[in-house]
Amino acid sequence: MSLLPGIGAMLIFPGGLSLLTASLLYEWADHKLLALLQNRIGPRWFQPFADSVKLLAKEEIVPKGVDRWLFFGLPLVALAGALTAGLYVPLAGLAPIASFPGDLIVVLYLLSLLTLGLGLAGANSLDRFSLIGATRTLTQVFSYEAPFMMALLGPALAAGSWQIATISAYASGHWLALTQPLGFVVALIGLMGKLEMPPFDAPEAHTEIVAGAMTEYSGRGLALFNLGKAVELFIGLTLISALYLGGVENPLLFLAKTLGLLLALTGVQALLTRLRIDQTVGLWWRYGALLVLVQWLITILVR
Amino acid sequence: MSTDEILNLAENIACQWDWATEISRPRPDQLDVKVLKLEELVPIAVGLRVKRLGHLSAIVGLDLGPEANAMEVIYYFCPGAAVIALRVRIPRDAPVVPSMSQVLSGAEVFERELHEMFGIEINGLANTERLYLPESWPEGVYPMRKDFNPAVLSADDEGTKND
Amino acid sequence: MTENRTPRRFTIPIGPQHPALKEPGAFQFTVDGEVVTNAYVRLGYAHRGIEKAAEERNWIQNLYLIERVCGICSHIHALAYCLAVEQLANVQAPPRAQAIRVLVAELERIHSHFLWMGVAAHEAGFETLFMYTWRDRETVMDLLEGLTGNRVNYSANLLGGVKFDVDAAQADSIRTGLEFLEGRVRHYLDVVSHDATFLQRTRGIGVMTTAQADVMGAVGPTARASNVVRDLRVHAPYAAYPDFPVSIVTDPRGDLEARFSVRLRELFESFRVIREILDRLPAGELAARMPRRIPEGEAVIRLEAPRGDVFYFVKSAGGDQPERLKIRTPTICNLTSVVRLAVGHQLADVPMILAGIDPCFSCNDRMVQVRKQSDGSQELMTWEQLRQHGIEFYRGKAQ
Amino acid sequence: MKKYATMLPDIAGSLFKRPATEAYPFVRSQAPMRLRGLLKWTPGPCTGCGLCAMDCPADALRVTMLDRKAKKFFLTYNVDRCLFCGQCVVSCRLGALAMSSQEWELAALTREAFTIRFGKELDDQSGLAGGPQGEPHTDRS
C-alpha cells in the first residue's frame, strides 16, 4: 500500500470522514426507526449532524476537581479507538483498509476503548451522578464484554482464522446466523449492551442519574463521545453482518443487511423495559455466557 | 358502619370527656367537638383511633384576627362519609397545641405546615424544619395570619416581625 | 480531588430539578452502593400561596384560582370549591349540571391515569409504553376540549352549576372515543400485568401493606392498591354519584404492579359511568342562581380526585370573599409513604416508587420566590409586586 | 403468566401507519366549536355595567366610563392577562361578549399588541378613537 492512497483511505474514504458521515446517518436511521415504531415522526435526516456541529461549537465547561488531561483526553481516545477499529472492518462492503492475522481481537479491544473511556470519564468527575454512572458503565462492561467477544469469535472458530477478511470471505458462502443462531443472538444483544441502548441503558438512565458518566460533559467532549458511539454502532453492525449474515460483498448487500439488523435492534429497544444494573449483570452471566459456551461447544463438535 | 352509627360512636367517645367538650351536629354527616381543655385533645384523638375512626384527613388553622385575639385549630377525622371535627381555641399571642404525630404519623406534615404558616407552636413535634417556606423566610413572619403584610418581606431582608 | 469523596455512600439529590420529576420537589436519597439507606423530602418550590390569595378575591374569581391548584385535576378542585360554596349558600345545583360535572370529572380521571401511566413507564425506562399512552391520552384530551373548550383548565364549573350542555353530537363523539380508549386500556392492562421485562421493574417493588397504608394515611389508588377499601365516590357519594354509582377497585398486593392494575381497572368503571351518564342525562337547567354574598358558615367537602381524596374547608364571614380556604391535596398524604418505602430499595427503583403514587407537587405547594443574583438573598413577592416587576422589566427592555 | 414483547402488535402496526404527531404550524387541524379563544365584543347590548370586569379572575377587563349620562365608555381587554376561562361571557347577561373559536394564535412581539380596546362612540379628542362602528379597535399593527 503506497502512502498517499493509504492516508486518503484512512482520513477520507472509506474511513475517517466517510465513516463519520455514514455513522451519523445510521444514528439517524436508528432514531427515525424507533420513532416510527412508536408512532412518532422522529428527527429529520440532518439532526445528528446538527447536534454534533452544535456541540462541537459549544463552550466546554470544565467542572471543578477533574483531571484536565483526562477530561479532554478520554473523549479523544474513545473516538480514536472507534475510528481505528474502522480500518480493519469491511466498511460499506469494501475490503478493509488494513488487515493482518488476528485483527478481529484488536478490533474488539479497540471497540471497548469507548466504553472504558466513558467509565473513566465518569470516575474522573466529582459529580455524584457521573460516579454512579461510571460504576454502572464499568459493571456493565464486565458483564457483556466476555459473552460478546466469545460470540464474535464463534465465526472465527468456524472459519479457522482470526482475520476479519478471511472470516468474512468464508462467511459469504455460509449464513452463520443459521448455523450458529445462539452466537448471533448474543452478538446482537451484546452490541446493544455495548452501545448502552435500551434496555441496557441503566448507566445513563435519565430518570435516575441524569446522563450517567457524561453528566458533566457539555461541549466538545460530549460531541466526541456521541460520535464515538455512532461510529461504534456502524462498525458493530458491519461486523455482525460480515461475520454472521453471509458477508458483505458489495455496498448494496451491505446496506440491506445492516439496515435489517438495525431494524431488529430498534425493535428490541422498543419492546423492552430498562433493566436494573443487577438484572443486566444477572442476565449476561446467567444466560449470555452460557448460551455462547453452548454455541462454542456445538461449533467445535460439529466441525 | 353507616354514617349515623359512626357519628353516634364518635359522640359516645367524646361524651366520655363531657367535662371538657361541647358537642354539636352542624350537618347530618358532621360531628363538631369543641375541646375546651387543650390537654384532653390528644387523648380524645387516641379514643377515636382506638375505635378505628382515626383517619386524620386534615388540620385546618384559623386566625380569628387580632381583635378576637384567638386562633382555632380544627382536626378533621373522616372515617367513611362522616366528618368529625375536633376544635380547639387558643390565644393568638401564645398559640400552642399538643402534637398528634406520636399517635398519628400522618399528622406530622400537617403540623409542620400549621407551624410555619400560622406560627402555632406544636408541643412535641420532633421535626420543625421548614416544609413549604424557603430557608430565607424571616423568622416570626407567618403568611396565613390575617395581619400578614407581604411588604415586610421585600422592604427588609433581615426579617422584621410583622406584628 | 479525593478527599471530597466518601467511598461508597452518596447522597443523591433528586430535584428540585431532575429529569425524573417534571415538577419541582426535592428529595435526597442516601445510597450505599445502589441501595437507598435514607430519604428526605423538602417541598414548597411551587408554592403559590393560593390559600392566602383566595382570601383577597371574590367568590367567583376564586373559582378560577382554585382550578389552577393543579394542572391535571383542575376540574375536581373547582368542583370541590363549588360544592363547598353551594353548601354554604344552601343552593343545590340542578341534576343535569351535577351529571355533567361527574362526566367531566370521570373524563379527567381517564386523562390523569393515562398521563400517570406514561410517566411511570418513562421512569421505568419503557419508552414505547410511554409514547403510546400519551398518544392515546390525546383522544381524551380532544374529547374534553370539544366538550369544554379547553384541554387542561376546562372551567366547566360555575357556582351553582355548569357552563355548557352536552348535545347528541358530543355524546356520540365521546362514545366513539371511549370505545377506542377502552380497547387500549384492555391492551395496556395486558402489557403491565404480563410483560416480563416490565414486571421485573414493578412486581414486588415498593410494597406497602394495608396496615402501613392505614398508618401513613395513604389515599386514593395508592391506598386501594394496598387493599384499603376507601373511595369517596362510593362511601360518601357527591354530585351525581348517588345516581350513577361506581364500584370500588382494590388490589391486595400493594406493590407497583398493583398500583398499575388498580388505576387501569378503575378506568373501566369510569368508562361505564360516562356511558351511563350519556344514556340517561337528567333533563333540566344547567345552573342555579347564586347570591354574590355567601352566608356565614363553614363547609367541609371531600371528593375523590384521580390521585386520592381532596379535602376542602371553606369558611365564609358573610361577605363576597372567603374568610378562609384550606386545601388538602392527596399527594401530601402519599408522600410520607414514598419516603418510607424508598429505604431499602435499589436506586433504580426510586423514580418508579416516586411515580407510583402519582405525585403532583403543584397541588401540594400553593408565593413566588425570587433569588437575587447580586447578594444571594431571597425575596418574596406578592402578585402585585411581581406583576409590577414584570411590567418594569419589559419596559426596561423596550427602551 | 409472563409474556415477552407484549407491545409487538403496536410497533408492527405503526410501521405501516402515519405518525400520530401533528405537524402543527404546517398542517392546522380544525379547532373545536367551543374553543375559548380571543374575546369578542358586540357593541349593541353592552351598557358598560362592569360585571364582566368585576368577575374577571385575572383583571384582564377594565371598564372606563367617559360620560355616564351619554353612556360613553370603553372596555380595555388585556389579552396577555386573560385566562380564557369564559366567566365574563357568563357574567354578561346582555350577551355582549363571546369567545372566538377561530382566533387563538395570539402570540405577538410587543406588549401593545396585547391591549385591545372595545369602544363605543369614543371621543376623538380622547385619542382613543376606534375603528368603524362595532369593530373593536386594536393596537395590533
DSSP 8-state class, residue C18: B
Measured between CA atoms, the residue of chain C closest to residue B49 is C215
Residue numbers in A near C31 (CB within 8 A): 132
Grid coordinates representing C2? 479525593
Residue C273 pLDDT = 92
Measured between CA atoms, the residue of chain A closest to residue C355 is A207
- Would D78 be classed as within a structural domain? yes
- Would A19 be classed as within a structural domain? yes
- Would B163 be classed as within a structural domain? no
Cα separation, C186 vs C268, whole angstroms = 9
Number of domains, chain B: 1
Q: What confidence tens digit (pLDDT) does each residue in B85-115 have?
A: 889 999 888 888 988 888 877 788 888 888 8
Residue D129 belongs to domain with CATH number: 3.30.70.3270
For A275-278, the CB contacts below 8 A with 24+ separation are A275/A199, A275/A200, A275/A202, A275/C197, A275/C200, A276/A202, A276/C200, A276/C201, A276/C346, A276/C348, A276/C349, A277/A136, A277/A139, A277/A140, A277/A202, A277/A203, A277/C34, A277/C348, A278/C34, A278/C346
* Beta bridge partner(s), residue B96: B121
Judge D/B contact: 3 or more CB pairs < 8 A: no
- Would A7 be classed as within a structural domain? no
Interface test with D, best of A31, A41, A268 (most D CBs within 10 A): A41
Cα separation, A146 vs D20, whole angstroms = 41
A173 versus C309: the higher-pLDDT residue is: C309
Residue C362 pLDDT = 59
* pLDDT at A47 exceeding the cut of 50: yes
Grid coordinates representing C125? 425506562
- Would A6 be classed as within a structural domain? no
SS3 call for C300: strand
Q: By CB neighbour count within 10 A (0-12 exposed, 13-18 middle, 19+ buried), where does C389 fall?
A: middle
In the sheet that B70-77 helps form, which strands lie side by side, from edge to edge? B21-24, B30-35, B83-91, B70-77, B56-63
Residue numbers in A near C200 (CB within 8 A): 273, 275-276, 279
Interface test with B, best of C47, C328, C365 (most B CBs within 10 A): C328
Architecture of the domain made up of C58-314:
Orthogonal Bundle (1.10)
Model confidence band, residue C133 (pLDDT cutoffs 50, 70, 90): very high
Q: Work out whether strand C297-305 and strand C308-316 pair parallel, antiparallel, or are unpaired.
A: antiparallel
Cα separation, C278 vs C282, whole angstroms = 9
CB D119, CB D74: distance < 8 Å: yes
Number of domains, chain A: 1
Distance from CA of C190 to the nearest CA of A (A): 14
* pLDDT at B24 exceeding the cut of 60: yes
* pLDDT at A207 exceeding the cut of 50: yes
Cα separation, D54 vs C3, whole angstroms = 63
Express as a percent the part of chain C with pLDDT over 70: 85
Model confidence band, residue C360 (pLDDT cutoffs 50, 70, 90): low
Exposure on the CB side of residue B16, measured as CA atoms within 13 A: 13
Note whether C315 contacts B143, CB cutoff 8 Å.
no
Q: Cα-flanking dihedrals φ and ψ of residue C18, to 5°?
A: -155, 145
Q: What confidence tens digit (pLDDT) does each residue in D47-93 have?
A: 888 888 888 988 888 888 887 777 788 888 989 889 888 888 988 88
Residue numbers in A near C28 (CB within 8 A): none
Residue C366 pLDDT = 47
Residue A72 pLDDT = 87
Measured between CA atoms, the residue of chain D closest to residue A273 is D5
Note whether A42 contacts D19, CB cutoff 8 Å.
yes
CB B120, CB B90: distance < 8 Å: yes
Residue C230 pLDDT = 84
Interface test with A, best of C193, C205, C347 (most A CBs within 10 A): C347
Q: Work out whether strand B96-98 and strand B121-123 pair parallel, antiparallel, or are unpaired.
A: parallel
Number of domains, chain D: 1
Chain A to chain D, count of Cβ pairs less than 8 Å apart?
30
- Per the listing, cell 439507606 goes with C37
Cα separation, B19 vs B35, whole angstroms = 9
Distance from CA of C378 to the nearest CA of B (A): 6
* pLDDT at C384 exceeding the cut of 60: no
Express as a percent the part of chain C with pLDDT over 90: 20
Q: What confidence tens digit (pLDDT) does each residue in B31-81 have?
A: 888 888 888 888 888 888 888 877 888 888 888 888 888 899 999 988 888
Note whether C10 contacts A132, CB cutoff 8 Å.
yes
- Would D77 be classed as within a structural domain? yes
- Would B139 be classed as within a structural domain? yes
Cα separation, D75 vs D120, whole angstroms = 9
Cα separation, A265 vs A250, whole angstroms = 22
Residue A60 pLDDT = 84
Residue numbers in A near C203 (CB within 8 A): none
Handedness of CA D17, D21, D23, D24 (dihedral sign): positive
* pLDDT at C378 exceeding the cut of 70: no
Grid coordinates representing C249? 377497585
Grid coordinates representing D132? 368603524
* pLDDT at C125 exceeding the cut of 90: no
Residue numbers in A near C120 (CB within 8 A): none
- Would B68 be classed as within a structural domain? yes
Residue numbers in C near D33 (CB within 8 A): 146
Distance from CA of C264 to the nearest CA of A (A): 19
Note whether D34 contacts C64, CB cutoff 8 Å.
no
User: Angle, nearest 10°, between helix axes C127-148 and A251-271?
Assistant: 70
DSSP string, D94-129: T--EEE-SS------SSSGGGEEEEEES--TTTT--
Note whether C128 contacts A270, CB cutoff 8 Å.
yes
Q: Which domain holds residue B145?
A: 3-149
Chain centre distance of CA B22 = 17
- Would A131 be classed as within a structural domain? yes
Residue numbers in C near D4 (CB within 8 A): 195-197
Grid coordinates representing A31? 432514531
Note whether B133 contacts C377, CB cutoff 8 Å.
no
CB A149, CB A108: distance < 8 Å: yes
Residue A128 pLDDT = 77
Interface test with A, best of D3, D15, D17, D26 (most A CBs within 10 A): D15
Chain B to chain C, count of Cβ pairs less than 8 Å apart?
93
Model confidence band, residue C372 (pLDDT cutoffs 50, 70, 90): very low
Model confidence band, residue C389 (pLDDT cutoffs 50, 70, 90): low
* pLDDT at D32 exceeding the cut of 50: yes
Q: What confidence tens digit (pLDDT) does each residue in A138-184 have?
A: 888 888 888 888 888 888 877 788 888 888 888 777 777 777 788 88
* pLDDT at D46 exceeding the cut of 70: yes
- Would D6 be classed as within a structural domain? no
Helix (H) or strand (E) holding C163: none
Q: What confidence tens digit (pLDDT) does each residue in B142-160 have?
A: 888 888 877 777 654 444 4
Query: Any chain B CB within 8 A of the CB of C333?
Result: yes
Measured between CA atoms, the residue of chain B closest to residue C337 is B106
CB D101, CB D37: distance < 8 Å: yes
Note whether B55 contacts C217, CB cutoff 8 Å.
yes
* Beta bridge partner(s), residue B31: B84
Helix (H) or strand (E) holding C144: helix C127-148
Residue B121 belongs to domain with CATH number: 3.30.460.80
Model confidence band, residue D129 (pLDDT cutoffs 50, 70, 90): very low
Q: Cα-flanking dihedrals φ and ψ of residue B73, to 5°?
A: -120, 130
- Would A8 be classed as within a structural domain? no
In the sheet that C35-42 helps form, which strands lie side by side, from edge to edge? C9-14, C26-32, C35-42
Note whether A272 contacts C197, CB cutoff 8 Å.
yes
CB A158, CB A179: distance < 8 Å: yes
- The mean pLDDT of C108-130, rounded to a whole number, is 87
A53 versus D29: the higher-pLDDT residue is: A53
Judge A/B contact: 3 or more CB pairs < 8 A: no
List of chains touching A (3+ CB pairs within 8 A) = C, D
* pLDDT at C274 exceeding the cut of 90: yes
Residue C396 pLDDT = 57
* Beta bridge partner(s), residue C14: C27
Q: By CB neighbour count within 10 A (0-12 exposed, 13-18 middle, 19+ buried), where does C173 fall?
A: middle
Mean pLDDT of chain A: 83
A21 versus C374: the higher-pLDDT residue is: A21
List of chains touching C (3+ CB pairs within 8 A) = A, B, D
Q: Model's pTM, two decimal places? A: 0.85
Maximum alpha-carbon separation in chain B? 56
Residue B79 pLDDT = 83
Residue numbers in C near A271 (CB within 8 A): 128
Of D4, D36, D91, the CB nearest to C149: D36
Taking any CB pair shorter than 8 Å as contact, residues of chain C touching chain D are: 57-58, 60-65, 67, 128-129, 132, 135, 138, 142, 145-150, 153, 155, 158, 163-164, 187, 190-191, 194-199, 394, 398
Q: By CB neighbour count within 10 A (0-12 exposed, 13-18 middle, 19+ buried), where does A30 fall?
A: buried
Note whether B143 contacts C52, CB cutoff 8 Å.
yes
Q: Cα-flanking dihedrals φ and ψ of residue A192, to 5°?
A: -65, -40
Grid coordinates representing A136? 454502572
CB A160, CB A301: distance < 8 Å: no
In the sheet that D72-78 helps form, which strands lie side by side, from edge to edge? D61-67, D72-78, D115-120, D137-138
Q: What confidence tens digit (pLDDT) does each residue in C206-257 have?
A: 788 888 887 777 888 888 888 888 888 888 888 889 888 889 999 888 888 8
* pLDDT at A86 exceeding the cut of 80: yes
CB C327, CB C12: distance < 8 Å: no
- Would B157 be classed as within a structural domain? no
Model confidence band, residue C71 (pLDDT cutoffs 50, 70, 90): confident
DSSP string, chain A: --HHHHHHHHHTSSSHHHHHHHHHHHHHHHHHHHHHHTT-----TTHHHHHHHHHHHSPPP--TTS-HHHHHHHHHHHHHHHHHHGGGS-GGGSPPSS--TTHHHHHHHHHHHHHHHHHHHHHHS--HHHHHHHHHHHHHHHHHHHHHHHHHHHHHHHHT---HHHHHHHHTTS-HHHHSHHHHHHHHHHHHHHTT-TTS-GGG-HHHHTTGGGTT--SHHHHHHHHHHHHHHHHHHHHHHHHHSS---SHHHHHHHHHHHHHHHHHHHHH-PPPPHHHHHHHIIIIIHHHHHHHHHHHHHH-
CB C130, CB A39: distance < 8 Å: no
Q: Which domain holds residue A298?
A: 14-302
Residues in CB range of C286: below 8 A, 6 or more apart: C94, C96, C97, C100, C161, C162, C163, C164, C165
Measured between CA atoms, the residue of chain C closest to residue B60 is C326
Residue C367 pLDDT = 38
- The mean pLDDT of D18-32, rounded to a whole number, is 85
Residue C79 pLDDT = 92
- The mean pLDDT of A110-125, rounded to a whole number, is 86
Distance from CA of A269 to the nearest CA of C (A): 9
Nearest to D24 by CA among C145, C114, C173, A41: A41
